[in-house]
Structure 1
Amino acid sequence: MTTWPALCIYALPDGQSRLIDIDLPVTRKVTGPDGASHWEGVAAATHWGLAGSASSASHHEWHTCGQAGLSITLRGTWEIEASDGTRRALGPGDVLVMLDTTGQGHRSWPQGEGDTMVIGMGLGEDTEREMRARLR
């Protein structure tokens, strides 16, 4: 199975957040003998939106992600900090799995002079369960 590396922020039972590296499965397109095709491994999302540097100006304070989801950096660089002090920078093409829906949460902020653009997607309940199972 082909995978893509991602960073994950999640909450421990005591409410503290941690960052870990995980691998996400890559979907694949399957074409049948009749020429019809479908995608295997596609997961449900509930909503999506684009966020730029200006829309994330207040995220330097501690906050949770609000809903489990994915954040994919399109342009620029931003940094995320877990409650244990671990920090990671995310640049174009980097994927963050956001599972810190409870607890202290994380802090995040854009880096550098340029505008940062990120696409965020909320995960469906089954997809969230699958992502949380990867933490074990």
Structure 2
Amino acid sequence: MIKAYLLTTGDDGHSHVQTGHLTDAVFYDAKSISFKETAPHSFLDWHTAPTNQYVICLTGTLDFETHTGEKFTLHPGEVLIAKDTTGTGHVWHMQGQDPWRRVYVPFDETEGFNFKADE
């Protein structure tokens, strides 16, 4: 199983995270993918996701936090499912000496996404 984090906007207008895993390796009708690299020691202040997207972490380790204090650490080989496109958003800080290399795969929420929350 591939570990995943689902980041959504709750009814309270804040981002919230659920830990789980991908239910399969299928990306539903991906129209595009893009790659990005960020230098070590970087951070990004409060922001929302630009669109619903899978963020596949290839290298780098990042600490994420929401305004409500929810925290998680994203490691290489894990996936962030970013759906917090509105509200207060989240912030991230990089750990260690590795750059953050990742793949973005936008998706249409109406076509579903493959995530199962931990029990």
What range describes the TM-score normalised by the shorter chain of this pair? 0.7 to 0.9
Instruction: State the Cα distance separating 1:118 from its structure 2 match.
Output: 1.1
Q: Percent identity?
A: 26
Higher helix share: 1
Report matched runs for 1:42-57 at 5 Å.
Answer: 42-54=27-39, 57=42
RMSD: 2.5
Report matched runs for 1:86-125 at 5 Å.
Answer: 86-125=70-109
Q: How many residues align?
A: 116
Match of 1:84 among 59, 68, 75: 68
Aligned to 2:7: 9
Instruction: State the Cα distance separating 1:42 from its structure 2 match.
Output: 4.7
Structure 1 unaligned regions, length at least 5: 28-40
State how far apart, in whole Å, the 1-side matches of 2:49 and 2:19 are.
Answer: 18
8 A Cα contact 1:9 1:82, kept in partner: no
- Structure ranking higher on relative contact order (CA contacts 8 Å, 6+ apart): 2
Find the structure with the greater CA-based Rg.
1
